[in-house]
Structure 1
């Protein structure tokens, strides 16, 4: 004897199962988000610390007006999942600070009033990179050149061809990668530090823009707070079999012109460029509240739409299987319902 499910109960059951499948699939997606420059603070982290809903500075308010508040809540996610060293190829002029991501378009605004940090030309300095997920890789810090105009969109040509600091697999202290080095000499006025963190265990890379000044008109170095624990976009590591090595990303394309000779001369795995300072600079403590991160950040090599399509497909397959099973039960020879 079989029991016939009422149509309403069957419909609810199928809907619940489909919903669980959809939610489970979306929940299993991998989010890649790792960090941003802390000292001197990047534009996105600095604006987050001002408060995403009501930033204090005119530049951060303009950034929110251009790209919304979510970009600031996702302060640790200015990234390209499949960069593999192809930074100049993938990021066009005028889009360096956002890494060409529409969500972070406000960070590219050409303004001469972005909050800036004081630096001393030619001095030892310990740069710090706030990290929410640690990975092996190399940090390269570039300073803008003498022709840089902060009131114009940032171009690759506005950066020095060779990074003034290169650090591979740095140590971590108090939640930040420690990058000891030396500030380039002979600088004055308002400049910008462009940081690229290229992972060696993945093609993924992270980018940040930090505004600095050499005339004493900015904020003291190390005076900015740090985002509260748990803030920023969520992260989970890629699913990799234990003991399975991950191929290193291919080498970036060789630069053209005068940069080619100097780029070739630079060691690929240079440990540290510049003179280390004795100890990391002190940093404050942040109190900004964190809003839940944007769900479904792209996994390296995939995107949100792929996971969503798989989830919807799985939900419908489950729903179809449920209907078929019920129909078979109802049509079994010799069975009856009462």
Structure 2
């Protein structure tokens, strides 16, 4: 199974293998736990996927601290959150996502996996991609889990992700897709209405193979068009 090829640098899985091979000789603690086969939102990119995509091939580059400070703090907190870019999920939620994940911890899925993804909750100026108000969320299902459903939420106009922690009341459900057969990539059409400026796209993917729920925070700037 092949993965998306962002900006022509090869698939994430292949780039992860290349990074590990190239850095083994220069780091005393080689990155552990490269992503197993699950999935993530790749467009707009989930926070940890975006950090992996931009910096996985040069994760020790000092310029990351000034060029991409939110990714820098995430790599410093736990590099495995990026190597395991497709493992941000919880099990046994039973569909009650709000009860399982506290406000302020939505981007880490309630500090899932022992807190591995906690840095995704950090408030600040995450790199954001520009989107017109009608766009699609692409969920890459690397393991062909399929879905019971996908739900896409957007932050309400006036919410500022650079200064405010994300809570459930900050979100509005804008798109939902029901049972979906396994497919490498699923496109979910979204209408952002009259939103403009910075927002968070929050995607929930309820996988079909188990009671396994995936949660993705993607940072965007809406053009208003």
Query: Which secondary structure state, in structure 2, belongs to the residue aligned with residue 71 of structure 1?
Result: helix
Label 1:196 to 1:33 Cα distance change in 2 as closer, same or farther (>3 A). Answer: farther
Would the aligned equivalents of 1:80 and 1:99 in 2 still touch at CA under 8 Å? yes
Would the aligned equivalents of 1:172 and 1:178 in 2 still touch at CA under 8 Å? no
Deviation by residue 1:130-154 (Cα, 9 ceiling, x = unmatched): 1211223211000001241211211
Match of 1:54 in 2: 60
Would the aligned equivalents of 2:153 and 2:203 in 1 still touch at CA under 8 Å? yes
Paired residues for 1:256-275 under 5 Å: none
Deviation by residue 1:39-84 (Cα, 9 ceiling, x = unmatched): 111101000112242363111001122x311110000011101112
Q: For 1:32 and 1:83, how far apart are their aligned partners in 2?
A: 21
Q: For 1:118 and 1:83, how far apart are their aligned partners in 2?
A: 32
For structure 2, which runs of at least 5 residues remain unmatched after alignment?
Answer: 1-34
Would the aligned equivalents of 1:147 and 1:158 in 2 still touch at CA under 8 Å? no
The one of 91, 115, 133 aligned to 2:143: 133
Match of 1:154 in 2: 166
Give the TM-score normalised by the residue count of structure 1. 0.49
Work out which structure has the larger RCO, using CA pairs closer than 8 Å and 6 or more positions apart in sequence.
1
Shift, 1:32, TM fit: 7.5
Q: For 1:83 and 1:95, how far apart are their aligned partners in 2?
A: 15
Q: For 1:209 and 1:54, how far apart are their aligned partners in 2?
A: 24
Deviation by residue 1:269-289 (Cα, 9 ceiling, x = unmatched): xxxxxxxxxxxxxxxxxxxxx
Would the aligned equivalents of 1:171 and 1:177 in 2 still touch at CA under 8 Å? no
Matched, 1:91 2:97: no
Match of 2:193 in 1: 185
Match of 1:194 in 2: 202
Would the aligned equivalents of 2:106 and 2:121 in 1 still touch at CA under 8 Å? yes
Shift, 1:202, TM fit: 2.2
Q: For 2:186 and 2:150, how far apart are their aligned partners in 1?
A: 10
Label 1:134 to 1:172 Cα distance change in 2 as closer, same or farther (>3 A). Answer: closer
Q: For 1:35 and 1:169, how far apart are their aligned partners in 2?
A: 17
Would the aligned equivalents of 1:96 and 1:108 in 2 still touch at CA under 8 Å? yes
Match of 2:219 in 1: 211
Rg larger for: 1
Q: For 1:114 and 1:205, how far apart are their aligned partners in 2?
A: 24
For structure 1, which runs of at least 5 residues remain unmatched after alignment?
Answer: 1-30, 217-338
Q: For 2:215 and 2:137, how far apart are their aligned partners in 1?
A: 15
Length, aligned pairs only: 178
Q: For 1:33 and 1:107, how far apart are their aligned partners in 2?
A: 20
Q: For 1:33 and 1:155, how far apart are their aligned partners in 2?
A: 29
Q: Give the superposed CA RMSD.
A: 2.1
Q: For 2:190 and 2:50, how far apart are their aligned partners in 1?
A: 22
Label 1:191 to 1:49 Cα distance change in 2 as closer, same or farther (>3 A). Answer: same
Paired residues for 1:212-231 under 5 Å: 212-215=220-223
Deviation by residue 1:153-211 (Cα, 9 ceiling, x = unmatched): 11111111xx21111244666x32222x2322110110010000112442110010000
Deviation by residue 1:65-107 (Cα, 9 ceiling, x = unmatched): 2x31111000001110111212111111111000022100110
Query: Which secondary structure state, in structure 2, belongs to the residue aligned with residue 76 of structure 1?
Result: coil
Query: Which secondary structure state, in structure 1, belongs to the residue aligned with residue 51 of structure 2?
Result: helix
Structure number with the higher strand fraction is 2
